[in-house]
Structure 1
Amino acid sequence: MFKNHLKIAWRSFQYNKLFSTINILGLSLGLALTILLLLFINYERSHDLMYSKKDQLHRILLNVDDDGTKEIWCSSPSAVGPEMKDVIPGIKESTRLLQHDFGGTAAVNVNKQSYIESKLYWVDPSIVELFDVTITQGAKQNQLEKPKTVMISQSTANKYFGSSNPIGEVLTVDKEISLEITGVFEDFASNSSLQCDILGSFSSTWAANSLTWDNASFETYVLLDESSNAGEVETQMQLVLDKNIEKQDQWFSFSLQPLTDIHLYSSSYTDTYTNNIGNIAEVRSMLLLAILILVIACINYMNLTTAKTQKRNTDVGISKTLGATKKNLIIRFYTETALVTCIAIAIGLFMAMLLVPLFNQLTSNTLDINTALTVEFGLGLALVFFVTTLVSGSYPALFMAGFSPKNILSPTFNQNKNSIFVRKGLVVTQFVASSILIIGVLVIYMQLNYVKGKDLGFQPENVIAISTAGIGKAEKQNALQKELSRLSYVSSVSQAQGFPGVGVSGRSVFKSDSDEEGYNVRSNRTDASIINSLGLKLLAGKTLPENKNITDTIVDVVVNKKVVDYLGLTPEQAIGERINMMLGNNAYIVGVVDNFNFRSLREPIGGYAFHNRRTEYLSYLLVRYNSGSSNSLAGLERTYRKIAPDAVFDYSFVDNKVQQFYNKEAKTAQIGLIFCSLAIFIAALGLFGLAAFTIERRNKEIGIRKVLGASIPQIVTMISKDFVQLTLIALAIASPIAWFFMKRWLEGFAYKIDVPISVFVFTGLGAIVIALITVSFQSIKAAMTNPVNSLRTE
């Protein structure tokens, strides 16, 4: 029997080749997009699942209350890990990571060759055991126990030494410290939160001999005992904090984050070295998008399948007259749907394979279609097949199989109001989903344009940040600064610890000695030119002094208005005042600049301070150049190589760094635009099907109207009017839904747009145009048909 149903399904497919092809095309495209999105979701959810101790590994977080603004920091003081391990029985092991130069690049010299590395971490030896680091060369244990030792990844070993054995070789970092290579490890997986190319021994750093509770610059992971409860351990951690820091001096509290939560649940956290951060909201959005596209594709199938029901009514009626049961017909229609779905999935998988490289380019991911060969993805695909077949075939199978032969063979069968209502409802559902997608994409783009155009309080354009890691001594840095300043197209050059878009130090400002909470600020060691280099607006006082005697113990500080507001002073009153911000007892405010957005616009402006105390390394030269000058970058590089001929010219544009805050949103908007366009195309196919059905049902009416003198525009208008109404109904339903979700999304930004009415107007006009274009093709064709053909037979 099943074989017979399969033959009938195949004959039906061949008999209606045009509609079958459109059917399969729409369903294949919908399934291809769904498969891509499921691959992406599967990849995002797979992060850190490869580690054998994943269920016991947790990252220590700091919960900070910054003058009423709550923040969660992913870094902690250097003493936290060792102390917690020694005191709390539930913690079996700990490990710390300190990214080189607090997230800056490292200049690495090997065999007289220079390289720039951004993934050099100073780590405790226990990282090897906790994170299942696979050693491919060198001793299997104790590789990082000794000071001045280092392990490198396999890809780094290939880059430095080719096929030669790197064990025992020496590499030099920033021309300051030489490290012996003791091992080579297998590269961390792309879906690991840890992405390290070089692991240096923690004992080689300044932090090894100065365990503190105030410098929160270290990502710390702890391994809990299998019988330990994370909540109980957090309580014990607070007791350890009380033991080491007086209650009134505590500016943070502890919490634990499971390793498997790091990738998807850390997007709002700060002070992290982990660049491989996802967003659970994005994953949920992609899942919703996958469901919407699949629903649109299934509805499209239903509409196209029922568009030719009038030609199949006689077939079904005769089958029922000859004894076919309702069950037989349901199986028959579902067999047909299953056949189409199988073909569509096969084509969809092939299309997904072709689209994976483009999708990877858009998302900066490393999706692999081979993951579709896993049992889990196979089960997921089987579920998609089952749901698609069940949903897509439900209407033609259950509706047509449920009528008596008398009703089906009746000429008025296709005028059944319920069936017409269902079909229109399906089209409305399609356009509701499409309208929500259009509105969402438009709002995201408008917010991104707002972010790009907003006055940040400083001028990041035409500023290049040149890393000084490969230069070495301060004398060379000063010489390079002077040489760059002499260039005709350079207006300002500053030495600085960092800049907006790059992490700097964290400190606290206190109003007085009795101020127990303080106010968290970002502090940046720099020089007198910083105001001009960043284009800051000076409100009062002056910039940092040009020349500073090395014996001068006074620390000069330039703060932004947020800091003086906290101190309860005006910018003018703040000048000359001593400031207590962990810079010693001789720190004084010499200038106040206007507030500026040094971090993402998701967050409100915070406190910021520039100072000249010799406590942090000057990692960058910030060069402001004239935008009209040609070959300016080449000139800067020539000057750099004149001072440091053996170093790599490592630079970045400050405005690009600032825009990296919004890369995720920009990629989401790109994906949304592409997938939204394809979803609209699929929905248009469904509308095409309903238009075909409507015209087929009203074929005789159109013929009579033509005989009575109706023109082609009048007939096209008559047919199109109903579909425009459906589109407007869909927009009315979609608008409040889209407004609600986009309002929620915008709440993630401290500075945001109001969702404008124009978005809904534009979406409505766009949907109407799409509907008219889709329907007009069928309408014009029907209007131009000879009326004799439609009136000749019943």
Structure 2
Amino acid sequence: MFKNYFKVAFRNLSKHRTTGFINIAGLTVGITAAVFIMLWVQNELSFDNYHKDVDRIYRVKAKLTLTKTETWVWESSPYLLGGVAKKEIPEVKDYTFLWPGYMITVHNKGQLISEKKYAYVDANWFNVFHYDFVDGSAESFSKNPFSLILTQSTAKKYFGNGEAVGKMLRLDSVNYQVQAVVKDNPANSTFQYDILIPVAAKLVNPHEKEQSTHWGNYNGLTFLKLQPGVNTNETAKKLTDIIRKNNKDSENTALNVISLKDMHFENDLQNSSFEHGNRRLVSIFMILAVLLLATACINYVNLTTARASVRSKEVSVRKIVGAGRFQLFGQFMSESLVVSVLALIFSVICIQLFMPWFNNVTEKHFTQPLASTTTWLILLGTLLVSFIFNGLYPAILLSSFKPLSVFKGRSTLNIKDGGVRKALVVVQFGISVMLIICTMVIYRQLDFMQKADLGYNREHVFSFRIPWNVLGFDDKKRVSMLSSIANELREQSPIKEVAQSQSDDFYNNGTKMSGSMDWAGRPKDYKPSVATLSADENFQQMMSLKMKEGHWFGKANVDQHNVILNETAVKQLGLRNPIIGQRFKFNGDSGIVAGVVKDFNFRSLHEKIGPMVINNHTDWAGSFYIKTASGNTAGAIRAAQNVWNQFVPDQPFAYNFLDEGYNKLYHAEQRSSTLITVFASITIAISAMGLLGLAAFAAEQRVKEIGIRKVLGASVQSIIRLLSADFLKTVLIANLVAFPVAWYMMNKWLQDFAYRIDISWWMFAAAACIALIIALLTVSIQSIKAALANPVNSLRSE
């Protein structure tokens, strides 16, 4: 019986090739897209779940209450905390400490290579977290402070296919021995470090060792492995007691813990060492996967039910010769299964072909996805959903025909079925229109952010930072070196302007300070936080910052003790008039307010402009900003590199253009925009394929009517209007359904931005026009074909 089911299913596919192609092609594209989306979603939701006892691993987080309305949240904690917590808190079974690195230089075969994905870890790291060791061991790594653990890909980069364990690598000015090689970090790992170094190596430096003994220094991340069934709120109270007992200035600080599984979606931190996910975006993409698959399945349902009248006699004959309703139901479900399985096979091929592109867009590394159990579970789940969704309604409908009614010539389908089919087309095109609108809004917001007036000019400016270990801690030598570098840069003809600052990411200034300011009229209990910036006398001109009143810093350190405030700082701090010349104490330095600069965006447009205090302390201003001469950017970079090589010969020259760095702030939005654009295009294509199939069948069913109309004098245009009208009405209704849904979704998305576009009416009109044009072109292909056909051929049999 089952063999016969599938034989008939393949026979029907062979007989109705156009319909079969549309069904399989649409479902293939839908399944492929849905699987890609669900791979990404599953990866986001499973971050760090592969670690043993993941439910018992927590990271300490600190909350510093500044005012009633402002709290800072840090992921870092003091180095000493973990050891003391294990001794004093019975609930703590183990602990470990992570000290993220900024950038380190690897000397390899005469080359200088910058590595950013590295970190210092203590001896307990591998007791808490799981790693797959390919060679070597954690024990040998912990015995020698100058040890390294490399990932497989990093070991191959430096040592080829040869054995890495036992080999030496020079990092900065120190030689390290590779003690172990581990498998590459999974795509769903928070810790994407390619090089691990013992914390003991960092503490060899006397300055770092001395700093690590201070309870006020939050210099790394403390992870705790707790006993089973522990009340984390009680643990947090005990941690807070420890920090307040050991640091008298921590009365406004409270420690808490966050589960390792929840870290990926943590969104309340001031700054973070890791890239975090967006739970709202995950939900959006889950819905998108369902919509894509639903769009493809709607094609099958519509085309199958549309052809019901053609198969009505087949079903009636089967019933007369003894087939029961259950057997007919099984026949049509088997046809759905055949289409779904064929689509799945083609989807597997597409997944393999397009996986490199998907990895590139998402910046994940889904290696050999078809070897993963997760991928096959997603594939089989998608197959099951499409099989049931595709087959259930058509099978119920087609198996319900009454043979007597069919042979008497009565209609086999009722108005309700036609209504269902139209409703499905409305849903299908409604999804397409909604995604078109979403794509347009996202693109417009990204374009707005790139072209927004930020209050400064970031064009033709690049920056680089002199490493702190090169500058050293000798004040005189450091200031002398910085001055020499600045003078050398100014003598280079391709360089137009040079300015100094303490930070090389002016467009994303995360430096904040609180409790170190005083001014006339400040309430004693008012200790607001402000962003800070150290800048020299050339900074304002280079960045085209506009002064509201007063002046920028003068030359020869005449304003060394003075500050400049932005407009928001003047408002929020409540300074009295006149502002200029007013006493202002900042970070222990007493001076006056020399000027007020107009507000500029020193953070991303997700955040409102906050108060900023700018000072003239350039003794630690190791970041240089270079404005290139017109048309000579390459020459300016070469000139800056030559100066770098003169003062920092043992490290590679790394620079960053301000406009590129600014655009990276919206990297996640750009990725989302690319994915949504691609998937919106896929949805439109699938919908158009379904509409093409329905239009072809409608033209086929009305071929004699069209022939009679042409004989009676109907024009080609009138026949095209006749066949297109119903479809265009359906698409028009789809637009009206999609508009409010799209507006609601995009309005929610835009709320994440402090500065955003307005959702304009023309976006909805444009989306409606695009959908209507696509529908009209699709339907017209069949309408024109039918209208141009010779009526003699269609009427010959009558």
Q: Counterpart of 2:129 in structure 1: which amino acid?
A: F
Asked if structure 2 preserves the Cα contact closer than 8 Å seen for 1:75 and 1:271, the reply is no
Change (3 A) 1:159 1:35: closer
Within 5 Å, give how 1:139-538 maps onto structure 2.
140-141=138-139, 143=141, 152-153=150-151, 155-160=153-158, 163=162, 167=166, 169=168, 171-173=170-172, 178=174, 180-181=176-177, 183-186=179-182, 187-196=184-193, 197-201=195-199, 202-204=202-204, 206-210=207-211, 211-244=213-246, 250-263=251-264, 265-267=265-267, 269-274=269-274, 276-368=275-367, 370-413=368-411, 416-469=414-467, 472-473=470-471, 474=478, 475-498=480-503, 499-501=505-507, 505-509=511-515, 510-511=517-518, 515-516=524-525, 518-538=527-547
Change (3 A) 1:412 1:547: farther
Provide the rounded CA distance (Å) in 1 between the counterparts of 2:726 and 2:671. 37
Aligned to 1:609: 613
SS in 2 for 1:597: coil
Asked if structure 1 preserves the Cα contact closer than 8 Å seen for 2:489 and 2:639, the reply is no
Equivalent of residue 631 in structure 1, options 629, 634, 638: 634
| Alpha-carbon displacement from aligned partner over 1:333-370 (angstroms, at most 9, x marks no partner) | 111110111111001111111111111121111123x3
Measured after TM superposition, the shift of residue 91 of structure 1 is 2.4
Q: Counterpart of 2:269 in structure 1: which amino acid?
A: Y
Provide the rounded CA distance (Å) in 2 between the counterparts of 1:165 and 1:17. 58
Change (3 A) 1:227 1:114: same
Provide the rounded CA distance (Å) in 2 between the counterparts of 1:431 and 1:410. 37
Change (3 A) 1:288 1:555: same
Asked if structure 2 preserves the Cα contact closer than 8 Å seen for 1:511 and 1:567, the reply is no
Measured after TM superposition, the shift of residue 600 of structure 1 is 1.7
Provide the rounded CA distance (Å) in 1 between the counterparts of 2:577 and 2:386. 65
Aligned to 1:659: 663
Aligned to 1:710: 714
Provide the rounded CA distance (Å) in 2 between the counterparts of 1:439 and 1:66. 42
Within 5 Å, give how 1:23-42 maps onto structure 2.
23-42=23-42
SS in 1 for 2:396: helix
Provide the rounded CA distance (Å) in 2 between the counterparts of 1:123 and 1:440. 44
Change (3 A) 1:701 1:140: closer
Provide the rounded CA distance (Å) in 2 between the counterparts of 1:366 and 1:165. 23
Question: TM-score, normalising length from structure 1?
Answer: 0.90
| Alpha-carbon displacement from aligned partner over 1:16-50 (angstroms, at most 9, x marks no partner) | 12221222111111111112112222222332122
Asked if structure 2 preserves the Cα contact closer than 8 Å seen for 1:114 and 1:647, the reply is yes
| Alpha-carbon displacement from aligned partner over 1:397-440 (angstroms, at most 9, x marks no partner) | 11111120123345452563122111111111101111111111
Within 5 Å, give how 1:4-23 maps onto structure 2.
4-23=4-23
Equivalent of residue 567 in structure 1, options 567, 570, 573: 573
Provide the rounded CA distance (Å) in 2 between the counterparts of 1:121 and 1:81. 18
Matched, 1:694 2:698: yes
Q: Counterpart of 1:774 in structure 2: which amino acid?
A: T
Q: Counterpart of 1:578 in structure 2: which amino acid?
A: F
Which piece of structure 1 moves more, 500-509 or 682-691?
A: 500-509
SS in 2 for 1:189: coil
Measured after TM superposition, the shift of residue 481 of structure 1 is 1.9
Asked if structure 2 preserves the Cα contact closer than 8 Å seen for 1:337 and 1:392, the reply is yes
Provide the rounded CA distance (Å) in 2 between the counterparts of 1:92 and 1:546. 58
Provide the rounded CA distance (Å) in 1 between the counterparts of 2:122 and 2:215. 18
* Consecutive unaligned residues in structure 2, runs of 5 or more: 472-477
Within 5 Å, give how 1:46-61 maps onto structure 2.
46-61=46-61
| Alpha-carbon displacement from aligned partner over 1:300-324 (angstroms, at most 9, x marks no partner) | 1112223433332221121122222
Asked if structure 2 preserves the Cα contact closer than 8 Å seen for 1:497 and 1:504, the reply is no
Provide the rounded CA distance (Å) in 1 between the counterparts of 2:306 and 2:579. 78
SS in 1 for 2:273: coil
Q: Counterpart of 1:94 in structure 2: which amino acid?
A: Y
SS in 2 for 1:472: helix
Matched, 1:683 2:687: yes
Asked if structure 2 preserves the Cα contact closer than 8 Å seen for 1:144 and 1:151, the reply is no
Change (3 A) 1:704 1:415: farther
SS in 1 for 2:464: strand
Change (3 A) 1:461 1:250: farther
Provide the rounded CA distance (Å) in 2 between the counterparts of 1:148 and 1:562. 48
Provide the rounded CA distance (Å) in 2 between the counterparts of 1:293 and 1:383. 15
Aligned to 1:557: 563
SS in 2 for 1:367: coil
SS in 1 for 2:416: helix
| Alpha-carbon displacement from aligned partner over 1:441-490 (angstroms, at most 9, x marks no partner) | 11111111111111122222211112322993434443332122123343
Measured after TM superposition, the shift of residue 151 of structure 1 is 5.0
Aligned to 2:94: 93
Which piece of structure 1 moves more, 151-160 or 718-727?
A: 151-160
SS in 2 for 1:305: helix
Q: Counterpart of 1:349 in structure 2: which amino acid?
A: V
Asked if structure 2 preserves the Cα contact closer than 8 Å seen for 1:107 and 1:469, the reply is no
Matched, 1:131 2:135: no
| Alpha-carbon displacement from aligned partner over 1:679-714 (angstroms, at most 9, x marks no partner) | 111011111222233333433332332222111101
Q: Counterpart of 1:666 in structure 2: which amino acid?
A: Q
Q: Counterpart of 2:40 in structure 1: which amino acid?
A: F
Measured after TM superposition, the shift of residue 133 of structure 1 is 4.7
Change (3 A) 1:646 1:74: closer
Provide the rounded CA distance (Å) in 2 between the counterparts of 1:647 and 1:442. 44
Provide the rounded CA distance (Å) in 2 between the counterparts of 1:357 and 1:378. 18
Measured after TM superposition, the shift of residue 244 of structure 1 is 4.9
Provide the rounded CA distance (Å) in 1 between the counterparts of 2:797 and 2:109. 91
Measured after TM superposition, the shift of residue 588 of structure 1 is 5.0
Aligned to 2:583: 577
SS in 2 for 1:603: coil
Measured after TM superposition, the shift of residue 112 of structure 1 is 6.1
Equivalent of residue 772 in structure 2, options 765, 768, 772: 768
| Alpha-carbon displacement from aligned partner over 1:69-126 (angstroms, at most 9, x marks no partner) | 55543234545444544433322333333334xx4x3344468653322234344332
Measured after TM superposition, the shift of residue 647 of structure 1 is 3.4
Measured after TM superposition, the shift of residue 155 of structure 1 is 4.6
Measured after TM superposition, the shift of residue 10 of structure 1 is 1.2
Provide the rounded CA distance (Å) in 1 between the counterparts of 2:171 and 2:655. 20
| Alpha-carbon displacement from aligned partner over 1:563-588 (angstroms, at most 9, x marks no partner) | 333321268515452324xx225465
Measured after TM superposition, the shift of residue 153 of structure 1 is 4.8
Aligned length: 778
Aligned to 1:721: 725
SS in 2 for 1:674: helix
Which piece of structure 1 moves more, 111-120 or 730-739?
A: 111-120
Matched, 1:755 2:759: yes
Change (3 A) 1:238 1:149: same
Asked if structure 2 preserves the Cα contact closer than 8 Å seen for 1:495 and 1:622, the reply is yes
